[in-house]
Amino acid sequence: MKVVTEFPFAVVEDADLAIVMSDGCRLSARIWRAEGAGKVPAVLEYIPYRKRDGTLPRDEMMHAYVAGHGYACVRVDIRGNGDSDGLMTDEYTIQELADACEVIEWLAAQDWCSGSVGMMGKSWGGFNCLQTAFLQPPALKAVVSVCSTTDRFADDIHYKGGCLLGENFGWGVVMLSYSSRPGDPALRPDWREGWMKRLAAEPWLAPVWADLQEKSDYWKHGSVSEDYSRMTVPVMIWGGWADNYMNTVAHLVENAGAKGIVGPWVHQYPHTAVPGPRVGFLQLALRWWDRWLKGVANGAEDDPAYRVYMLHSAPPDASAKWRAGHWVCEAVWPSPRVSRQVMALAPGALTPPGPPVGYLGTDEIGRISSPQHLGMQAGEFFPMGLNAEMPGDQREDDALSLCFDGAVLAEPLDLLGAARLRLRVSSDKPLGFVVARLCDVGPDGASVRIAHGMLNLCHRDSMEEPAPMVPEVAVDVAFDVDQMAYRVAKGHHLRLALSNAYWPFVWPSPEAGVLTVTGGSLDLPVHSGSEAEWVPPDAEGAAPWQHRVIRKGHAGRRIETELLSGRRVLVIEDDTGDVESLTHGLCSGETMSERWEIVPDDPLSARAVHVWEQRLSRGDWSVRTRAEAEMTGTVDDLRMKAKLTAWEGDTVVFERAWDEEVMRRFV
């Protein structure tokens, strides 16, 4: 990334500007403003991840850059987090979004603001800028959203296709840890009083979310897919093929007239993300802001609707730094350059393309009875970097799956869009799910996951009103495999791999079941072919943050096998070390560990144990928090225990434990 230090305008900062809500709650904002530019538009990023330490490194590179081009960039800590007052009760609450609307109104009224406000963010911030746009506050003129979702139930970190994700538990532990830290005493003289209130109110949300096993009003709140007609604010939406929010971009382009860009990236901003190539996200965001916040006639509204990086076949690499490919530009989406090719499922094979077919036959073409440890190479729900977090070689999981292989390709095959899988299937158990992986298999047998999709069979007819399967009764089901842009090389072949286990990506069903497949088809989105159609600007950013490394970190990721019991364990360790901000002297550090363990023939052996530690200090002042949690299950219930401990210096100042059980109705 090119570091830019000279901008059209000098940048002035306010590290802790108070924005007081109508109920008296003080939110803390850091603002970068263009000096001498007169009244300028404001661009808001509104998240719980702590501007003083958590997102400080990326904030320095992004917000100073945009402000230097004639804007005011505003980074606000959500109430109950960082240096803001109040308490947080859940994600994307009515209160959170009401605060966002108030902040936007406040910004528009400032004497340095032109009255136009934009909103941007990644992940949580990407979610709530879409959700705020849905509410249509008058001053909000445009948004830039990165790595977000339109459907909080069907396509988020809690559930996917109705399947309970392992990361529902993991995310609950993360938020228990993240929100347990106090404000900075240099800004908040009353930090300790606020910290004690914050700790006492900390919610343990994993069991709350796990108990919401159907698409209820809880999940519909904040899901902009419930009414796309409300998405009238211009949206630029970004995603990454290595992230699990890749579907959002196509959905918003098709249904809300958004402009979408998807690259090869993990869950990071595209100017800093891996795998490369990185792109000039900040320049493209500025083009968007100039058009909609300043009224500059730059033609941004006429840019291609959907720009995607089409990945090319490459060996599997869970820590890929770069992916070969080329950029494709579609003027409209769905694209007339995409046709559908339907391949029927035959025993062990995908038949050659033919006319559209439905569910085929009544004879058995395969059984799905997966060992419970299948899925160890699935990668993270949202990988963040190069610590083997992306999908690895799928061969081992393929060997444990019901596979259907296509013919070896005589010419490259370009795929763009979402494949749709139709199955006629019966189950010997009332609860169960099916996972589909579409893979690129090379001549050496190496298997790369192109995309995956899944369906909780209880949700076969409805996300809102699930119903258990009737054992041994065949039903017709259909679901999408995730969006993709992928060129399968000549000499390679496609593989569809089906399983009813996917550990630890999906929490296992209570009983090891058998699914019998008696027919089906795979509907592929075949692109007519293209070469490089766009050359994006190179990545740029402002100067990185000034800091000192106190202690270097380390990371580890490994799969362990206990030879007597056969227990398989995925172990993840990440210690960031400790660093000091040379701007304000706050020292911070974080250490986490995860264990995901299971015995191949026993779904009730599934156990997850996570530990997160947060550290803050300056001079003689230091605090530390530790969140520990465990998830297990029985035939009838899921059990989630947690403990939160806080230290001031070496003294324990807070302890609380939770032990919650959730009835398994549909998972």
Mind giving me the DSSP string for 328-364?
A: EEESSSS-TTEEEEEEEEETTEEPPPBS---S--SS-
On the question of a cis peptide bond just before residue 334, with omega within 30 degrees of 0, the verdict is yes
Q: Where are the domains of the chain?
A: 10-162+213-294, 338-527, 546-582+585-663
Instruction: Indicate left, alpha or beta for 80 from its phi (over 0: left) and psi (-120 to 50: alpha).
Output: left
Angstrom distance (rounded) from CA 572 to CA 632: 18
326 three-state secondary structure: strand
pLDDT above 80: residue 360: no
Identify the band that residue 529 occupies on the pLDDT scale cut at 50, 70 and 90.
Answer: confident
Give the 3-state secondary structure of residue 94: helix
Cα-trace Rg, the chain: 25
* pLDDT tens digits, 12-44: 999 999 999 999 999 999 999 999 999 999 999
Mean pLDDT confidence for 248-263: 98
Q: Give the per-residue pLDDT at 363.
A: 83
Residue 356 has pLDDT above 70, yes or no: no
The CATH code of the domain at 338-527 is 2.60.120.260
Give pTM, 2 decimals. 0.96
In the prediction, which pLDDT does 353 show?
65
**Mean pLDDT computed over 124-149:** 98
Quote the pLDDT of residue 352: 79
Residue 642 has pLDDT above 80, yes or no: yes
Q: How confident is the model at residue 184 (pLDDT cuts 50, 70, 90)?
A: very high
- For the chain, how long is the longest CA-to-CA vector? 76
Write down the mean pLDDT value for the chain. 97
Q: What is the pLDDT of residues 387-426, one digit of tens each?
A: 999 999 999 999 999 999 999 999 999 999 999 999 999 9
Strand partners, 462: none
Q: What is the structure's pLDDT at 357? A: 47
Residue 358 pLDDT class (50, 70, 90 cuts): very low
Listed in sequence order, the residues at least 6 apart from 225 whose beta carbon sits closer than 8 Å to its beta carbon are 150, 151, 251, 255
Fill in the amino acid letter for 170: G
pLDDT tens digits along 559-571: 999 999 999 999 9
- Residue identified by tokens 């000039």 is 280
DSSP H helices, 163-227, are 166-178, 191-201, 206-210, 217-220
List beta partners, residue 455.
434
For 398, the enclosing helix (H) or strand (E) is: helix 395-399
Mean pLDDT to the nearest integer, 491-519 = 98
Tell me the CATH number of domain 10-162+213-294, given options 3.20.10.10, 3.30.565.10, 3.40.640.10, 3.40.50.1820: 3.40.50.1820
If one counts every other C-beta atom within 10 angstroms of the C-beta of residue 532, the result is 11
Q: Which amino acid is at 359?
A: Y
The model's pLDDT over 333-354, given as tens digits with 9 standing for 90+, comes to 999 999 999 999 999 999 976 5
